[in-house]
Structure 1
């Protein structure tokens, strides 16, 4: 029986080593490639054939959600499993809408990771209880949805960075955008969420437990 060929994408070498060992303990799996950033992941996915990509959201050169979209654009049938420190509340629904086959946090047990890889390799979705609840909530009426769910992915990134106290110039550099463009996204966030200043954005992010998303590039 052919093995499931996996591409690991995470910028921490020690973590990749641990994940590799967990997966290699299963006879039906093979870690066929590793990448420490988005650019490497996209290049490897184009040059080699993988069955599953295990992808972190926090990468040094590009947001994992954007990486997911690029991978799916090149290979629509490629299974991408998000494995991240960010909770389902922060990015779970966004990841699935962007084309992820499943979503796991790094607090999950090793058996969950193995089961998730096997599930998405078969073309199925892997959705845990916490993400299932978030998905159910996302189908409520518009008035029931948290305001941040109305934001685009880029607007959400800007909200997170503002909440972390990131300066405009630093935001522009991290997002590879001009300061003027970042200002436009900030204005959209303020308009959609009816905020008057950055302090209100920060208070909202803390209240809705979105502060960890601020570490995402």
Structure 2
């Protein structure tokens, strides 16, 4: 049996090393590459043949939202599994919309991540009961949980960048879009979230744990 080829992206050495030791216990799992930030993640998937990429959300440089979008636009066959300490109610739905095949909380039992890797490698999805509830709620109005706001994947991506202090021009350059397009998204974001400025976006993001 050919082992499942796994890549791990996390900025903490202890997490990467711990997952490598965990997967080494199983003959059907093989860690072929690791990375500690978004830029290294993009280089990793361009050089290594992977079945499953385990991706943290909070990383230096390119964030997981941008990394996930770029990876799946270029290599749609890679199954991306989000492994993070960020709360499901904030990040799960946007990451699923961007193409993540699973979402595992770092506080989960170790065997959950093993099961998740196997399931997504087999072409299935892996979501906790909490995430499944969020997905069920998403068919009703209000899919930014707790706020009654439905953001598209692109709007969520721009929301995170604006909240982090990036300018419209910086975001446009990073996403290869025009300033006009980003400004339009910004206006819709402010309207949907009932906010009036970028500083309010940042405060909203901090208060609701979208940013550290």
Instruction: Flag the structure with higher helix content.
Output: 1
Aligned pair 1:42/2:42, yes or no? yes
Alignment map for 1:110-129 (pairs within 5 Å): 110-129=110-129
* 1:105 alignment partner in structure 2: 105
Equivalent positions of 1:47-66 (< 5 A) are 47-66=47-66
Structure 2 matches for 1:150-161, cutoff 5 A? 150=151, 152-158=155-161, 161=163
Q: How many residue pairs get matched?
A: 202
Q: Does 1:149 align with 2:150?
A: yes
- Which is worse superposed, 193-202 or 121-130? 193-202
User: Does the C-alpha gap of structure 1 residues 20 and 201 become closer, same or farther in structure 2, counting only changes over 3 Å?
Assistant: same
What is the CA–CA distance in structure 2 between the aligned matches of 1:139 and 1:94, rounded to whole Å?
A: 14
Matched position secondary structure for 1:72: helix
Quote the Cα distance in structure 1 between the aligned partners of 2:73 and 2:13.
Answer: 27
Distance 2:57 2:74 in 1: 19
Query: Is 1:131 matched up with 2:142?
Result: no
How has the CA–CA distance of structure 1 residues 59 and 200 changed in structure 2, closer, same or farther, with 3 Å as cutoff? closer
TM-score (norm 2): 0.82
Deviation larger for 118-127 or 71-80: 71-80
- TM-score, normalised by the number of residues in structure 1: 0.80
RMSD: 2.8
Gaps of 5+ in 1: none
Change (3 A) 1:183 1:73: closer
Does the Cα contact within 8 Å between 2:82 and 2:104 map onto a contact in 1? Answer: yes
Query: Residue 155 and residue 17 in structure 1: after superposition, are their counterparts in 2 closer, same or farther (change >3 A)?
Result: same
Residue 214 (str. 1) matches residue 211 (str. 2): yes
For each residue in 1:7-27, what CA deviation from the matched residue of structure 2 results, as whole angstroms up to 9, or x when unmatched?
Answer: 000111121111111111112
Higher relative contact order structure (alpha carbons within 8 Å, sequence separation ≥ 6): 1
Q: Secondary structure at 1:90's aligned position in 2?
A: helix
Question: Is the partner of 2:123 in helix, strand or coil?
Answer: coil
1:13-52 pair list within 5 angstroms: 13-52=13-52
